Amino acid sequence: MENYQMFFPCPSTGQSSYPLIPNYSTNMGSFNAFQDFQGESSNGTSFLGLRTENHVPKRAEVKQISHNRSSFSGDIETDQVKPGKKKGQLKKIRKPRYAFQTRTQVDILDDGYRWRKYGQKAVKNNKFPRSYYRCTYQGCNVKKQVQRLTKDEGIVVTTYEGAHNHSIEKQSDTFEHILSQMQIYTPF
């Protein structure tokens, strides 16, 4: 999970610092738009690794997928959700996850949604903790994990789980900047 590769080369500079953010558009109501990116777009931009099949990878399998790919734009984990502390709760299917890396000095990307932090864990082989956030919008179950890489402290890995069922609550300047970058890669 810690090995998602989500960088894309800039068409003009060739530098790889372009984040891809799901569901970030005034008219993107869900991750579906992001899923549309999968495969190869008409302008030659590759969006590898975004898959929607219901394959349920085991933990080791996920690691292997990550290690064997030189680049891919995300992966979907459909693990079963852990019921947490509540006993007797039925297992749920884990929602698809989308990960991307962003080269930034700030840990929290202002993506326009309101997030509530519900946990932080020290992660093996990483000196930076992983933070767990939930969307605070009523009825919206989207979660995200934020983690800075040990190998490259400038890179923040954000993993989204689920799809927002509401629109962006605020449009931030920083996010507009990211959005403007994204549009370079959208096939429409």
> CA–CA separation, 95 vs 1, rounded Å?
15
Q: Do 101 and 6 touch, CB atoms closer than 8 A?
A: yes
Q: Draw the binding track, 91-120, toward DNA (x: CB under 7 A; -: no contact).
A: x----------------------xxxxxxx
Which residues within the stretch 29-68 sit at the binding site for DNA (CB under 7 A)?
58-60
Q: Which stretch binds DNA (CB under 7 A): 43-51, 73-81, 148-156, 176-184?
A: 73-81
Residue closer to DNA, measured from CB, 124 or 180: 124
CB pairs under 8 A, 24+ apart, for 129-135?
131/107, 135/164
44, 70, 86, 180: which one binds DNA (CB under 7 A): 86
Q: Tell me the one-letter amino acid at 65.
A: I
Least distance to DNA, CB of residue 11, Å: 33
Grouping H, G, I as helix, E, B as strand and the rest as coil, residue 25 is coil
Distance CA 105, CA 163 (A): 26
Q: How far apart are CA 145 and CA 126, in angstroms?
A: 14
| Amino acid present at 1 | M
| Residue 143 touches DNA, criterion: CB under 7 A | yes
- Which of 114, 166 has the CB closer to DNA? 114
> Looking at beta carbons only, is 155 or 157 nearer to DNA?
157
Residues at the interface with DNA (CB under 7 A):
1, 58-60, 79-87, 91, 114-124, 130-133, 136, 143, 145
